[in-house]
Amino acid sequence: MTADDSFARLNDDDYPAYTIGRAAEMIGASQGFLRAIGEAHLITPLRSAGGHRRYSRYQLRIAVRVRELVDQGTAIEDACRIVALQDQLEEALAL
């Protein structure tokens, strides 16, 4: 891997750069919250060689959308479903 390859990862929204602890801190949520949206199959974090969850910036943006709905009183399962449906609608409208 060259230095250019390493630098390119900094701009890759899909690169799983963040541990669960750092990801939770970044979005102002708990690690349990991130695990819950994973269990709801909204996001699937990649695993490091040691089996630890790693999150991408793209996944964190999804998690923030869920957290905003939960903060407004929506149940986490319902918030995950709403975000998934919003994304499906956006994809359908783009066709």
pLDDT of 4 > 80? The answer is: no
pLDDT at 21: 97
Whole-angstrom distance, CA of residue 57 vs CA of residue 72: 23
Block residue for tokens 């199959």: 41
Predicted confidence (pLDDT) per residue in 51-82, tens digit: 999 999 999 999 999 999 999 999 999 999 99
pLDDT at 5: 64
The torsion angles phi and psi of 27, rounded to 5 degrees, stand at -100, 0
Whole-angstrom distance, CA of residue 77 vs CA of residue 46: 21
pLDDT at 7: 64
Is the separation of the CB atoms in 67 and 42 below 8 Å? no
Domains of the chain: residue spans and CATH: 10-94 (1.10.1660.10)
Residues whose CB falls within 8 Å of the CB of residue 48, separated by 6 or more in sequence, listed in order: 54
**pTM for this entry:** 0.85
